[in-house]
Structure 1
Amino acid sequence: MKKVKKESTIYVFDDLQELPKDVAYLMEKAIEARSRAYAPYSNFEVGAALLLDNDEIITGNNQENASYPSGLCAERTAIYYAGSQYPEAKVIRMAISASSKITSTETPIPPCGACRQAMVEYEIKQTHAIEVYFMGSKGAVAKSNSVVNLLPFVFDKTALF
C-alpha cells in the first residue's frame, strides 16, 4: 500500500473591493445573474458569470423545477451555454455568487459536485485552467486557480477507454 496525498490551495479575499477590477466586474455579473434565478422551492439563488478568451461574458443562474432532478445549477447553465454557442472559445475564469432567502450566506459557497464535474470536463478539454471565484451574497471571496484544484480526483474520459 502507498499513501496518495492531494492538497488544494484556495485564496481568500476579504470582499469584492479587494479583487482585481476585472474580476470584481465579472463577480458583479454573477450577482446580477443570481438576481434572475428561478428558485421557488429551495429559495437558494445562484448566479455564475464566465469570461471567455474571446472577451465574451456568459451568465447563468439556477433554474428549479417541481420535479427536482429536472432543475439545473447556475454553473452548468453558463458553461453549457458557452460550449453550445462558442465551442472553440476557452473559459478563462468563472465567478459564482450564492444567496439564500432563508439564512445568511456571508462565507464563500463553492460549486456543487455535479457542477465541478461538468466544469472540469471543459477545463480538461481546453487544456487551460479555469480560475474559479466564489462567494455568498456578500463578504469574502474565495479563488481557486483551477477546477482540478476543487476536484482533485478527477473522473475524465481516460476512465472510459
Structure 2
Amino acid sequence: MKQITINTVISVYSKEDLSPIETDLMEQAFEARSKAYAPYSKFTVGVALLLDNGVVVQGSNQENAAYPSGLCAERVAIFYAGAKYPDAKMLKMFITASPMDRDLVEPIPPCGSCRQSIAEYEFKQDVPIELFFMGAKGPIYKSDSLQNILPLVFDKNNL
C-alpha cells in the first residue's frame, strides 16, 4: 500500500490585515448577504467577485420551497459573471455567511457544489481564484486557489 499526503494552506486574516481592495470586497459581500432570500434555512450568504476588468459581481443565496431549485451565493455570482463577462478572469471571491438569528464567528467555506463550480472557472481561465471566507464577524480565511480546499478535483481532463 502507498499513501498520498495532501496539504492545504489557509491564511488567517483579520479585517485590519486586508488590503483596501479586499476590504471593499468584504463590504460588498456583506451588502450582498443582506439581499439573500433565505426564508427556509434562515442562513444568509453573500459574495463579491472581483473580475480582471475591474467589475465586482455580487451574489446572494436564493432559496426555493423546492430545495434543489435554489442557488448558493457563490454560484449566483460566478454564473452571472460567466454569462455577462465571458472573457473576464475571476480574481478574488469574498464570501460571508451567517444565520439570521446570530452572528456566526466561524469562517464558512463554499459547499461542495460551489467548489466544483468555482473549479470549472479556475480551470477555464487557467488563473487561480483567491477565496476569502468568513462568518458575520471574526477571522477571515484565505485560500490562494480553489485547489487548496478541493484537492483531487474532478475536471475536464477526467472526461
Specify the alignment match of 1:150 in structure 2.
Answer: 149
What amino acid does structure 2 have at the position aligned with 1:5? T
2:92/2:129 contact within 8 Å kept: yes
What amino acid does structure 1 have at the position aligned with 2:2? K
The 5-angstrom pairing of residues 29-108 of structure 1 reads 29-108=28-107
Question: CA–CA distance in 2 between the matches of 1:60 and 1:46?
Answer: 8
Question: CA–CA distance in 1 between the matches of 2:85 and 2:110?
Answer: 22
Question: CA–CA distance in 1 between the matches of 2:16 and 2:38?
Answer: 28
Write the deviation string for residues 127-154 of structure 1: whole angstroms up to 9, x where unpaired: 0000000000011100000001110110
Q: Does 1:117 align with 2:116?
A: yes
Deviation at 1:104, TM superposition (A): 3.7
Deviation at 1:44, TM superposition (A): 0.2
Specify the alignment match of 1:4 in structure 2.
Answer: 4
Deviation at 1:102, TM superposition (A): 3.5
Structure 1: 4+ residue segments shifted above 2 A: none
Question: CA–CA distance in 2 between the matches of 1:148 and 1:47?
Answer: 21
Question: CA–CA distance in 1 between the matches of 2:62 and 2:83?
Answer: 18
**SS in structure 1 at match of 2:117:** helix
Deviation at 1:18, TM superposition (A): 2.1
What amino acid does structure 2 have at the position aligned with 1:2? K
Question: CA–CA distance in 2 between the matches of 1:106 and 1:36?
Answer: 20
Question: CA–CA distance in 2 between the matches of 1:150 and 1:83?
Answer: 22
Deviation at 1:17, TM superposition (A): 2.3
Question: CA–CA distance in 2 between the matches of 1:104 and 1:62?
Answer: 17
The RMSD of aligned alpha carbons is 0.9
Q: Which runs of 5+ in 1 are unaligned?
A: none
Q: Which runs of 5+ in 2 are unaligned?
A: none
Specify the alignment match of 1:138 in structure 2.
Answer: 137
Query: Which segment drifts farther, 21-30 or 101-110?
Result: 101-110
Deviation at 1:7, TM superposition (A): 0.8
2:40/2:63 contact within 8 Å kept: yes
TM superposition score normalised by structure 2: 0.97
